[in-house]
């Protein structure tokens, strides 16, 4: 049973890798064939406003909003595709916030976005490892990366979340009774400082 699951995961990872390669090939050919870059579905005034949020920006060329809009479109499409792949791995048809968080955690170039998710996920008891801490990028061998969920026996109580500094420790993936690899985080309270008399 576990070997079938591993084989399925491997096939799914290979399919995901092919989809990503096809996606970027299509994006490249679309960009190379583009003749009118100034017309884009994203509103140029909104894009200029975002660009001018940086204090160092004084003037914006005519091409910059169009390029920025295309970059935003490609980013959104890729993140949606990667998130959808995570949902498919879990055999779901509804994209969830946790799918996006897992896709961000699995993709090294997007690790700067982890801060958007970890504070929210930590409050709910879901912790994601940072890039380079045990997970493999999309397309890696099946079973080589952990699933991103808190184990059932771990309940994030209010004292853990709101009651002061807490840390967590990464544990390597283990095979549980169901035969699925998982990884867990163990909450550790920081050592108490002894107060003087």
Per cent of the chain over pLDDT 70 is 57
Domain assignment of residue 97, yes or no: yes
Q: Which of 9-13, 58-62, 100-104, 138-142 has the lowest mean pLDDT?
A: 138-142
Residue 96: which CATH number?
Answer: 1.10.20.10
pLDDT digits over 74-106, tens only? 899 999 999 998 898 888 999 998 888 888 888
* Strand pairing class (174-175; 181-182): antiparallel
Domain assignment of residue 166, yes or no: no
Domain assignment of residue 180, yes or no: no
Domain assignment of residue 93, yes or no: yes
Domain that includes residue 125, residue range: 2-148
> Distance of CA 107 to CAs 2, 99, 103, 125, Å?
26, 12, 6, 22
SS3 call for 188: strand
Provide the domain count of the chain.
Answer: 1
Domain assignment of residue 142, yes or no: yes
Domain assignment of residue 94, yes or no: yes
Alpha helices in the chain (DSSP H): 2-33, 44-51, 63-89, 97-106, 114-124, 158-162
Domain assignment of residue 164, yes or no: no
pTM: 0.53
Could you report how far apart the first and last alpha carbons of the chain are, in Å?
A: 61
The answer on pLDDT for 194 being more than 70 is no
Domain assignment of residue 171, yes or no: no
Better pLDDT: 124 or 57: 57
pLDDT-based confidence at 142, cuts 50/70/90?
Answer: very low
């Amino acid at each position: 049973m576990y070997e079938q699951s591993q084989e399925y995961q491997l096939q799914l990872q290979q399919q995901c890798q092919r989809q990503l390669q096809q996606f970027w090939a299509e994006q490249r050919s679309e960009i190379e064939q583009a003749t009118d870059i100034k017309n884009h579905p994203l509103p140029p005034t909104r894009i200029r406003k975002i660009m001018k949020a940086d204090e160092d920006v004084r003037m914006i060329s005519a091409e910059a909003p169009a390029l920025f809009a295309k970059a935003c479109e490609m980013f959104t499409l890729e993140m949606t595709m990667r998130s959808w792949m995570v949902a498919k791995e879990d055999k779901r048809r509804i994209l969830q916030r946790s799918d996006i968080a897992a896709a961000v955690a699995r993709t090294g170039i997007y690790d700067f976005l982890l801060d958007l998710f970890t504070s929210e996920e930590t409050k709910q008891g879901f912790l994601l490892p940072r890039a380079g801490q045990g997970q493999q990028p999309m397309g890696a061998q099946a079973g080589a990366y952990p699933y991103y969920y808190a184990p059932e026996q771990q309940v994030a109580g209010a004292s853990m979340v709101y009651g002061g500094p807490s840390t967590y420790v990464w544990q390597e993936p283990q095979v549980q009774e169901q035969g699925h690899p998982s990884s867990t985080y163990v909450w550790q309270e920081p050592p108490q400082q002894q107060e003087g008399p």
